[in-house]
C-alpha cells in the first residue's frame, strides 16, 4: 500500500478543483468503493469481512478470537486516528483548494455553514464528489479510510497466512485490490494528501504487528479463544 503514495510523489500528482472533471465515470466508481469505508456502510463491510474470515479460518482459529481481533482492529485504529486528527488539524486538499488562505476561518464555521460553502463549488457532472466532500468535513491527517482499508488487508493477511486453497487466494487478491482502490479513491476525491496515506499505512502496520506477534499468541492461551474440536 505504500507504493500508492510513493508513486503519487514520484509523478508529482496533486489534486486540483478540476481534477474530477477529467474522469467523472472513474471517480463515480471510486466514490462507490470509498463508501464501503464510510459511515454507515463501513459497518456492513466489517460484518461481511468478519464473517468471511471466520469461515476461511474455521479449521485453525476460534470464531470468537477472529471476531474479537476484527473488532479490536477497527476500534483500536480508529481511536488512534481520531486522536491524531485532533492534534494535527490538517485541512483536507479540497478545503485548501477551495478556500486557499481562508481555511482556518472555514473550519471555525458551524458544520452547516461549511457544507453550504463547499456545495457552492458543485457542478452537474461531479455533484456526487462535492456532496461527498461536504459530508466529510473533518481534518485530513491521518486518513481514517486508509487505516480502515489497510487494517482489514493486514487482518486478512495475518489470519490467512499459511492457508491454501482457491477461496483463500481469492480473498487475498480481493483484499489487496479493495484496499488499494480505497487509497486511490481518497486521493482522487480530494480527501487526502499522499503523506496522509503513507503515515496511515505505517500506523496500521505497526498496530497489527503488535496484534499478530504478541496479542494473538497471548489470547490463544485463554480458554475462550482456543479452537475447539
pLDDT of residue 158: 96
From 92, 132, 186, 192, the catalytic residue: 192
Q: What is the pLDDT of residues 97-117, one digit of tens each?
A: 999 888 889 999 999 999 999
Q: Report pLDDT for 142.
A: 95
Is 132 a residue of the active site?
Answer: no
pLDDT of residue 220: 83
Q: Per the residue annotation, which of 92, 145, 188, 208 is the catalytic one?
A: 145
Q: Is residue 197 over pLDDT 90?
A: yes
How far is Cα 58 from Cα 68, in angstroms, rounded to an integer? Answer: 14
DSSP 129-169: HHHHHHH--S--SS-HHHHHHHHHHHHHHHHHTT--SHHHH
Longest alpha-carbon distance in the chain: 63
Q: Residue ranges per domain, the chain?
A: 3-11+39-90+139-216
pLDDT score recorded for residue 21: 62
Residue 192 annotated in active site: yes
The whole-angstrom distance between residue 79's C-alpha and the CA centroid of its chain comes to 13
Q: Which of 17-31, 77-91, 106-120, 182-196 has the lowest mean pLDDT?
A: 17-31
Instruction: Using the predicted structure, report yes or no on whether residue 229 has a pLDDT greater than 60.
Output: no
Higher pLDDT, 74 or 22: 74
Cα 219 to Cα 228: distance, rounded to the nearest angstrom: 14
Mean pLDDT of 176-184: 97
Amino acid at each position: 500500500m505504500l507504493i500508492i503514495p510513493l508513486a503519487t510523489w514520484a509523478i508529482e500528482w496533486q489534486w486540483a478543483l478540476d481534477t474530477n472533471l477529467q474522469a467523472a465515470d472513474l471517480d463515480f466508481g471510486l466514490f462507490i468503493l470509498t463508501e464501503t469505508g464510510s459511515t454507515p456502510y463501513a459497518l456492513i463491510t466489517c460484518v461481511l469481512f468478519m464473517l468471511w474470515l471466520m469461515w476461511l479460518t474455521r479449521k485453525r482459529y476460534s470464531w470468537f478470537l477472529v471476531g474479537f481481533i476484527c473488532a479490536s482492529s477497527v476500534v483500536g485504529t480508529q481511536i488512534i486516528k481520531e486522536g491524531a486528527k485532533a492534534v494535527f488539524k490538517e485541512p483536507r486538499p479540497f478545503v485548501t483548494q477551495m478556500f486557499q488562505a481562508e481555511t482556518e476561518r472555514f473550519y471555525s464555521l458551524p458544520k452547516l455553514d461549511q457544507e453550504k460553502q463547499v456545495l457552492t463549488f458543485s457542478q452537474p457532472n461531479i455533484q456526487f464528489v462535492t456532496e461527498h466532500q461536504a459530508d466529510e468535513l473533518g481534518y485530513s491527517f491521518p486518513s481514517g479510510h486508509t487505516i480502515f482499508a489497510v487494517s482489514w488487508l493486514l487482518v486478512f493477511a495475518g489470519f490467512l497466512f499459511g492457508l491454501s486453497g482457491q477461496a483463500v487466494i481469492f480473498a487475498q487478491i480481493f483484499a489487496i485490490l479493495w484496499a488499494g482502490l480505497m487509497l486511490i479513491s481518497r486521493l482522487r476525491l480530494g480527501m487526502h494528501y499522499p503523506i496522509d496515506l503513507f503515515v496511515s499505512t505505517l500506523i496500521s502496520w505497526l498496530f497489527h504487528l503488535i496484534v499478530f506477534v504478541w496479542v494473538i499468541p497471548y489470547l490463544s492461551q485463554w480458554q475462550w479463544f482456543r479452537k475447539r474440536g
